[in-house]
Amino acid sequence: MLKADNTAYSILAQDFDLLVDEPLKKYTSFKIGGPADLLALPKDKHELKNLLKKASNLDIPVTLFGGGTNLLITDKGIRGLVVITRLLKSKIRIIKTDLDGKTIGVEAGERLSNVCRFAINHSLSGLEFAAGIPGTIGGAIIMNAGTKSGEISNIVDSIEILNKKTLAFETIEKKELDFSYRRLNLTGIIVAATLTLKKESLEKIEKSFNHNLSQKNATQPVAFASAGCFFKNPVEGRPAGELIEKAGLKGVRINDAMVSQSHANFIVNIDNATCDDILLLKQHIQKSVFDKYHIKLKTEVRMEGE
């Protein structure tokens, strides 16, 4: 919690009109998390840059996230400044056209669902796999969001970042990006991206998108608060959800944290679960799967806080 006599924090809060001791459960899809000492939602990349520069000068630690859809925040919350980049957005635009398709430009805070809709409206293919995936385009890129039918790294042409050390804006081309399974190895802050999409018939794009969306709604607990798939799939063998289900864990609860009945790789908050509830259930799942299969499941969800 922020102490009233902390001059540096007070200066930053006043200079940028920040929220103080703001509960973070309101900003994550899990609906879990204690307070941030200071919370900022910058509206453009220049405000973000100025904010980070001031925080650095005042020696205040900074934590960043976007849509909060792949995130678990501790019950004690996050010390220092939390910056949420979901307001970093402007009009999605076509910046290049060639014989095969178009390249679009989008800011990091734009919702992935809006980018998908833009692509459909312009008969552009490449984002059908993302049907129903929540969060922002920046978050999707940093997590290399994807499904069996594709992932975001396949269509990223370039990204614009804010270098954390120099606080300069830089463009990184696709060939320089280090993508791996559900991860982009990156130290900077994504502020914008360009995506290359291919021309296709509207009918074919909509059919594929709607099929993927129906599959997601039918097999995932979309009505409950969660952070998406909780564990990474092992490199070889059966996926995490199947391992958890075969271990007999569907429906297992610790207080209001529960292994989803519809997809075992989802831990859901069925009412008022705490971070501790989620972590206890996570440990139980990992132990049960290891005892049965000698496989240690690794988490896909990012955790922040003290």
In a domain, 1, yes or no: no
Do 98 and 206 belong together in one domain? yes
pLDDT digits (tens, 9 = 90+) for 188-246: 999 999 999 999 999 999 999 999 999 988 889 988 999 999 999 998 899 999 999 99
Quote the pTM value: 0.89
Mean pLDDT over the full length of the chain:
94
- Boundary of a domain, candidates 50, 84, 118: 84
Per-residue model confidence (pLDDT) at position 3:
52
pLDDT tens profile 116-157: 999 999 999 999 999 999 999 999 999 999 888 899 999 999
Question: 182 in a domain, yes or no?
Answer: yes
pLDDT (mean) for 111-119: 96
Answer whether residue 294 shows pLDDT above 50: yes
Is the domain of 147 the same as that of 256? no
Structure tokens at 173: 């081309």
Give the angle 47-48-53 at the CA atoms, nearest 5°.
Answer: 100
Q: Is 135:114 a contact under the CB 8 Å cutoff?
A: no
Tell me what pLDDT residue 4 has.
46
Q: Is 169 helix (H, G, I), strand (E, B) or coil?
A: strand
Are 23 and 60 within one domain?
A: yes
> What is the gyration radius of the CA atoms in the chain, in angstroms?
20
Q: Please check the confidence at residue 186 and state whether its pLDDT lies above 70.
A: yes
- CATH code of the domain containing 17: 3.30.43.10
Q: pLDDT tens for residues 295-306?
A: 999 999 999 999
**Residues 184 and 98 grouped into a single domain:** yes
Q: How confident is the model at residue 182 (pLDDT cuts 50, 70, 90)?
A: confident
- 192-to-29, 38, 204 alpha-carbon distances in Å: 23, 24, 28
CA nearest to 136, candidates 124, 149, 152, 125: 152
> Domain with 107 in it: what CATH number?
3.30.465.10
Instruction: Give the per-residue pLDDT at 242.
Output: 97
Catalytic residue list: 182, 229, 300
Q: What is the pLDDT of residues 74-85, one digit of tens each?
A: 999 999 999 999
Domain enclosing residue 293, as ranges: 225-304
